[in-house]
Amino acid sequence: MRAIWRRLDPGLVAGFGVLAVLVALSMTTPVQLIAVFASGAIVASLVTTARRTAYVAGAAVVCGLLAHLWHDDTGIVDWLARVFLCALLGLVGIQGAALRERREGRLERMTVIAETAQRAVLRSIPTAIGSVGLSARYVSATAEALVGGDLYEVAATPYGVRVIVGDVRGKGLAAVQTAAAVLGAFRAAAFTEPDLAALARNIDETLTRFVGEEEFVTAIVGEFHGNMVTLANCGHHPPLLVHDEQVSEVDTGEPTVPLGMGSDPGLTEHPWPAGARMLFYTDGLVEARDKSGEFFPLDDYAPEIGEGTVEEALDRLVEHLLAYAGNKMNDDLALVLAESESH
């Protein structure tokens, strides 16, 4: 029985249900309800296909024709006029369902295209590069698709494991295009530019040629080499360092302006001991709010970043965030968690 119910079309059931109620009322009251029999088709058109809406509309017209059996005192012209109006309203329902189907089809195709573009931009990262364990997560604020302007990438270069995490101003496909420009510049220069600050300036120059005057990308670029990590902060949130059950915000100095605005970051170096974890994140993590408008308390959950594998730690953090925000993200979110394995 449950399997049969699951196969039933809710729109079809609702449409015929409304029709049955109206027919029953028409048979028990002197009120002429023939024209409103089409309400069943209107209800069905909201959730089911045009073809199935037509079934309900056809049944409504048939019921309207049969209504003369229990309203035999109705004039023939008046009765046919009501049946005609029922048929006309049924056609409106069918047309509405057809328009909705086409609109949803276009949205579905655009969603597939957008998600394909996003995956092409944000390629999956390896679970480890040398002695650096890695994991990444992306959550989009766009309800219809996995699209947004946050970005991340890692690269095994001759100078160490390099990472970039950034946040494009704006959302949607335009932001994806900007993110692609940043990642393209990073991938092109990360393997040839020995200086991390020069790498950031190279990305900035590329982005300046690509985006408008009011567009920019906050970003942080890191380089893991041995037991040290070098960071260049371009107007972005400093990462969190978790080591020996202690959580601290990494001091990256005074951040410069974002990429695309003439960024020229200074470099800071920090110890990177075995077992340490560093979390790079974007605005979506710290600007998520609950129903009362309170921001996500990252400090309360940060110690858990050091527990389990890096994959488990990020999954747990995302679960906490979505539960806190009621599964409604106001901003895109990119997370990269790096772990210093034994040297």
CB 334, CB 150: distance < 8 Å:
yes
Q: Which domain holds residue 326?
A: 125-340
Which of 219, 239, 208, 213 lies closest to 151 in space, CA to CA? 219
HSE toward the beta carbon, residue 51, CA cutoff 13 A: 1
Global confidence as pTM:
0.69
- Asked if 134 and 240 sit in the same domain, the reply is yes
Same domain, 184 and 53: no
Beta carbons of 57 and 35 less than 8 angstroms apart: no
Distances (CA, A) of 278 to 92, 138, 236, 333: 59, 17, 15, 16
Distance CA 42, CA 63 (A): 16
Residues 102 and 131 in one domain: no
Residue 98 and residue 155 in one domain: no
**Total of domains in the chain:** 2
Which of 80, 115, 150 is where one domain is finished? 115
Q: Where among 51, 84, 115 does a domain terminate? A: 115
What are the pLDDT tens digits along the chain (343 aa)?
Answer: 454 445 678 888 888 888 888 888 888 776 677 788 888 888 999 888 899 999 999 998 998 888 877 766 667 878 888 888 989 999 999 999 999 998 888 877 766 666 666 666 677 888 999 899 999 998 877 554 455 678 899 999 999 999 999 998 866 667 778 888 899 899 999 999 999 999 999 999 998 887 766 788 999 999 999 899 999 999 999 999 999 889 999 999 887 899 999 999 999 999 999 999 999 999 889 888 888 888 999 989 999 999 999 999 999 999 999 999 887 777 788 899 999 985 5
- CA proximity to 85, closest of 57, 51, 48: 57
115, 134, 160: which is the final residue of a domain? 115
Q: How far apart are the first and last CA of the chain?
A: 61
Please indicate, yes or no, whether residues 71 and 142 belong to a single structural domain of this protein: no
What is the distance of C-alpha 103 from the center of its chain? 20
- 92 domain residue, yes or no: yes
Phi, psi of 243 (to 5 degrees): -155, 135
Q: Dihedral angle at the C-alpha atoms of 138, 141, 146, 149, nearest 10 degrees?
A: -70
197: CATH: 3.60.40.10
